[in-house]
Structure 1
Amino acid sequence: MNKKLLFSALFLCASASAFAQDRKVIDNIVKEVNENSQLEKLAHELLDVVGPRLVGSPQMKQANDWAVKKYSDWGISAKNEKWGEWAGWERGITHIDLISPRVRTLEGTQLAWSPSTNGKAINAEAIILPEITDSVSFQKWLPNVKGKIVLISMNQLSGRPEKNWEEFATKDLFEKFKKEKAEAAKTWAASLAKTGLTAKTLPVALENAGAVAVVINNWSQGFGVDKIFGANTTKVPTLDLSVEDYGLVYRLALNGDKPKLKIEADSKKLGAVPTFNTIAEIKGTQKPNEYVMLSAHFDSWDGASGATDNGSGTILMMEAMRILKKIYPNPKRTILVGHWGSEEQGLNGSRAFVEDHPEIVGNLQALFNQDNGTGRVVNIGGQGFAKSKDYITRWLAAVPDTIKNQIKTSFPGTPGAGGSDFASFVAAGALGYSLSSTSWDYGTYTWHTNRDSYDKLVFDEIRSNVILAAIMVYMASEDPEKTSTEKAKDLPVNERTGKPSTWPVQTKSNRKGGL
């Protein structure tokens, strides 16, 4: 046999052996997911027992410590890595009651970082922000808020979602409703602008003028859902009422019925507290200084339990790591997972990691991030990297058809400038990919809402995502090639500007939030 034929035979033999190894590992990953899933247990412990994970809260640190313990139990090295400090705050019990002209317990809660009522109940009349003609008229009205609870959001024309109107109303009635709703929103926005203040500065002006509480309704345009973000007041509580109860109190005030509310809102300010990323590692055996990463933010808003934003991504990545450690304990490259803090305030944990670990970022084979809900992955883009198609296509080929065939890819794609933590790596020129999921009405019903709880998770969809993520990591780790970070020369046109997309600028992490 000549040398050429010998080389070909050896190459084919090696290829066949590698294929057999790949097939065995992949089959075992699928088997472990389908027969020994830990997702429900992880979700219960994280979402029901620990609960929401607001940056700076005791629950965030509890979650960090829980994850480190879990990884340790699985034989995986893990640590909490400090990246900054944040204004510490702990949520307490909120009670909001209508006590006149009738009695009703209202559905609502204080916003994150809201001041406390300090163990005492506020009993006061609720008034509404009137229609403002100019800043002078607003200043003349402002003394009226002293000793009052002030409602500062628009009262919705209907607490029914547009989908509900569209399904049941006649076409003419639906169009009439949409027009009236748009006009009401425009009028309200114009009135607010005439105060000379913004939605952020108005509550501060009201508390400085003597208001005893500020009440909003940040309706999420669906049945029973409100967005729960942070308070702007520093002396009096800010609370969100459901669209139904806000409307009730608003109409009573509008019609001169002088509604009185009783409010108890317990919370604690904890000063500056350290903030952490949780990092776990399975050390590589052949190329330990090259890295494949799993990624999901750990923090959440705290209107509910942070289940789909981003408990689902968190347990996905933890389960993938558990399975990889069991099935593929000696990877070719080092496998890392990053559970990031303070994503919700601007990707701060992942941006800090990128700043603090150039040795990892510069030797990153690929990072896979999942954030947008509980659904199966349906989109993967190339993030503007010229050679992404070569790698992603090759790695996806190993994924079962039932999962792979539902995924739409786009290459070279547009580099992510924000939205989730993969963008922190893309901005630094590293291959960060988003595993983007189908909606399950994420934007309306669970994203940052008071309904983002365990029961909204669709575990079979998450299991599919675990299979996908674990196989992609395995294939990236085993790939004989080091991936290329070459940027595409012709990026897609930005739909908003009509101009070619530009590479995002790396942004510094905010390491002292709310202080």
Structure 2
Amino acid sequence: MTNKLLSVLLLLFLSSSILTAQSRQEIVSQIVQEANENSRLKVLAHELLDVVGPRLVGTPQMKNAHDWAVKKYSSWDITARNEQWGKWKGWERGITHVDMISPRIQSLEARQLAWSPSTGKKGITAEVMILPNAKDSLDFIDKLKSVKGKFVMISMPQPTGRPDDNWEEWATEDSFSKMKAERDSLDKKWEERIERTGLDYRELPKALEAAGAEGIISSRWSRGFGVNKVFSSYTEEIPTIDVSLEDYGMLFRLAEYGDRPELKIVAESSELGEMPTFNTIAEIKGTEKPEEYVILSAHFDSWDGATGATDNGTGTIVMMEAMRILKKLYPNPKRTILVGHWGSEEQGLNGSRAFVKDHPEIVEKVQALFNQDNGTGRVVDISGNGFLHAYDYLGDWLYEVPEDITQHINTDFPGTPGRGGSDYASFVAAGAPAFNLSSLSWDYWNYTWHTNRDTYDKIVFDDVKNNVILTAVLAYMASEDPETTSREKIKLPVSKRTGEPMTWPEPKDAERAGMLD
């Protein structure tokens, strides 16, 4: 080969590399422009949260959400489908109205818990009492007679509805310390009261129900102003009602002082038998390597104390908006870009576990998966999840993301494998390179995670927009990468707890028939 021919080939190679770099920069620039100037995030959030509403597995609203997503993707010319993976106990929330009718009249802030039995339209009127304080489990059995015909309060009354940061700002040091000591003492005494029943928090409502109680009243404060955690009922025939800290405290004091408060509770709901459960899957088919996949991941379901705005409405609309932008600007990706909106994450990663189990041919060909779940904040942490060479490719992809976004991000390479918490862990367990895009807090754990305040107004759209750009650029770079990502794993260390070598997490199948035993 002549020197002249070598020079020509080198020039062609360099020209091609320059054009490729320029093309990448142009696509990234267009992604940023589209996300900033033509955002659909607020419309998506409104339609999902305000119109569809909460998305509890087994409810008609969950199916409405799946159907809405398929229709939305179709409007963007993206192929989408609902894929059934199991079934769940069907239930639909109706009207909840809780009124104190004695010693005075006051409507209370309250809601029935998920899967709570209905009171019917007429409701139930009864006196409120505090969980009996027994000496031991035998004494509790004897005192269970007193709950017949009553609403029974089973939660500790909080001494303050002010979060700790409010106390830190305004209280004296002595006053703050005194409050915490009082709260710790009350908490310990209440836990001891529960322990003496011989039952845990799942078994206790069932025992009260069997003893003839008219309903269960609880209040699970989330350490923020006006915020309660709202989960599920364990009763089968009587209603279980969550009451706000403020109103619960009032009822507790009235009962404690002998004022015999009475409530009228209307908590309508419908049991619907078996309901199918789905994942919504959408994809932009690859052109050069269609059998390889870049997956965008976010769970679609929520608890239904509110509308699931930050858990996980924000993750959902990030992935939808990223797909819309990629379809518009990058309609012929090298690899297939697939998005999974998983069902029943809240009950144990069920949708994503089912997908991993049912689609080994896809999991085997995953180039990378990007998952977003924990709130409205901009992404600030990414771990290599124990994949030895994750830095080699993920670092390159992150380099193409605008610096005003990556400057906030801390990385941990190679990291250790995620074992739960969100749907990326289902894929990590199967050996697929899956990464969680972990967000800044915005008081997520206290104010929105599984609470009655997880609503549209808590979304910080500037941060969510940043996450759209990050996700879209990472998906683009992963699709374009000429190399297939390495799946080589780190050698895990010895467990400090057991003294044995740690092992990689194992894949688990989904719960395919939830609450139907």
Q: TM-score, normalised by structure 2?
A: 0.98
Distance 1:298 1:479 in 2: 29
Matches within 5 A, 1:13-412: 13-412=15-414
Equivalent AA in structure 1 for residue 512 of structure 2: R
Q: What is the CA distance between 1:496 and its match in structure 2?
A: 7.4
Contact 2:134 2:143 in 1 (8 A): no
**CA offsets per residue over residues 303-347 of structure 1, 9 Å max, x none?**
011000000000000000000000000000000000000000000
**In 2: Cα distance, 1:150 partner to 1:389 partner:** 55
Deviates more, 1:131-140 or 1:210-219: 131-140
Q: Identify if the C-alpha distance between structure 1 residues 204 and 173 changes in structure 2 by more than 3 Å, giving closer, same or farther.
A: same
SS at match of 1:295: strand
Offset of residue 355 of structure 1: 0.2
- State how far apart, in whole Å, the 1-side matches of 2:235 and 2:451 are: 20
CA contact 2:381–2:438 (8 Å) conserved in 1 = yes
- Is the 8 Å Cα contact of residues 133 and 140 (structure 2) preserved in structure 1? no
Name structure 2 gaps, 5 residues minimum. Answer: none
Give the SS at the match of 1:270.
strand
Give CA-to-partner distance per residue, 1:171-200, whole Å, 9 cap, x none: 122112112211211111111011110000
- CA contact under 8 A between 2:492 and 2:503: conserved in structure 1? no
- Is 2:310–2:376's contact at 8 Å kept on the other side of the alignment? yes
Q: Aligned partners of 2:333, 2:51: CA distance in 1, in Å?
A: 33
Rounded Cα–Cα distance in structure 1 between residues aligned with 2:76 and 2:498: 48
Count of residue pairs the alignment pairs up: 514
Q: 2:507 maps to what in 1?
A: 506
- Identify if the C-alpha distance between structure 1 residues 171 and 401 changes in structure 2 by more than 3 Å, giving closer, same or farther: same
Q: Is the contact between residue 131 and residue 188 of structure 1 (CA under 8 Å) also seen in structure 2?
A: no
User: Which consecutive unaligned segments of at least 5 residues does structure 1 have?
Assistant: none
Partner residue of 1:483? 485
Describe the superposition over 1:219-269 as per-residue Cα deviations: whole angstroms up to 9, x where unpaired.
Answer: 101101001101000010000000000000011001110000000000000
More displaced, 321-330 or 187-196?
187-196
Q: 1:191 to 1:498 in 2, by over 3 A?
A: farther
Equivalent residue letter for 2:214: V
Distance 1:78 1:443 in 2: 33
Moved more, 94-103 or 170-179: 170-179
**CA–CA separation in structure 2 for the residues paired with 1:414 and 1:244:** 42
Q: Deviations over 1:129-185 (max 9, x none)?
A: 133321111111101010000000011111111111111111122112112211211
**For the residues of structure 2 that align with 1:413 and 1:3, how far apart are their CA atoms?**
47
Deviation at 1:498, TM superposition (A): 8.6
The letter of the residue matching 1:91 is: R
Query: 1:7 offset after TM fit, Å?
Result: 4.1
Give the counterpart letter for 1:346 in structure 2: G
Percent pairwise identity: 63
Instruction: Judge conservation of contact 1:414–1:501 (CA < 8 Å) in 2.
Output: no
Contact 2:44–2:317 (CA under 8 A) maintained in structure 1: yes
Structure 1 pair 317–495 and aligned structure 2 pair: CA distance change class (3 A): farther
For 1:218 and 1:256, locate their aligned partners in 2 and report how far apart those are by CA, in whole Å: 24
The answer as to whether partners of 1:377 and 1:407 remain within 8 angstroms in 2 is yes
TM-align CA RMSD: 1.3
Q: CA deviation at 1:209?
A: 0.4
Structure 1 CA distance for aligned equivalents of residues 412 and 267 of structure 2: 48
d(CA) in 1 for partners of 2:87 and 2:121? Answer: 28
Moved over 2 A (4+): 1-11, 493-502
